[in-house]
Amino acid sequence: MQGTAALPITLTLKNEPLRPGTSELIGVITLAPVAVGIFCWALWSVPGGTASDTLVTSGAYSRLRHPIYFAFLAMLLATGFVVSAGLALVAAIVLYVAGTELRIASEEADL
């Protein structure tokens, strides 16, 4: 639903530089639901009552090492597509990946 929420707005925009193109809208409609699905799958993969220091290796965590960070990256891409971010999207992705790598290194050091 989040991906399709962009359609009423973007379809009524005039032909301006910030209007997403067809391929960008397809990216949004594809990536946003995938991001939400992976995020929910990751949350459901953690058994209730599990201690915060317990290593979870089932569900989403059996397929992806960091499913929540991956879901955030997919939503960042979808957001960048809907606003036709161009080079700003590339910069945002680089910053996100660099920040995520730092955070992952810190978290793994704690484990």
DSSP codes joined into one string, 56-108: P-STHHHH-SSHHHHHHHHHHHHHHHHTT-THHHHHHHHHHHHHHHHHHHHHH
Give, as one character, the DSSP assignment of residue 15.
S
Instruction: Say what the pTM is.
Output: 0.79
Q: Is the pLDDT of residue 99 over 70?
A: yes
Q: What is the pLDDT of residues 38-66, one digit of tens each?
A: 999 999 998 876 667 778 889 999 999 99
What is the rounded CA–CA span in Å between residue 38 and residue 71? 6
**CA 72 to CA 96: how far, in whole Å?**
9
Q: Which residue has the tokens 């997403």?
A: 20
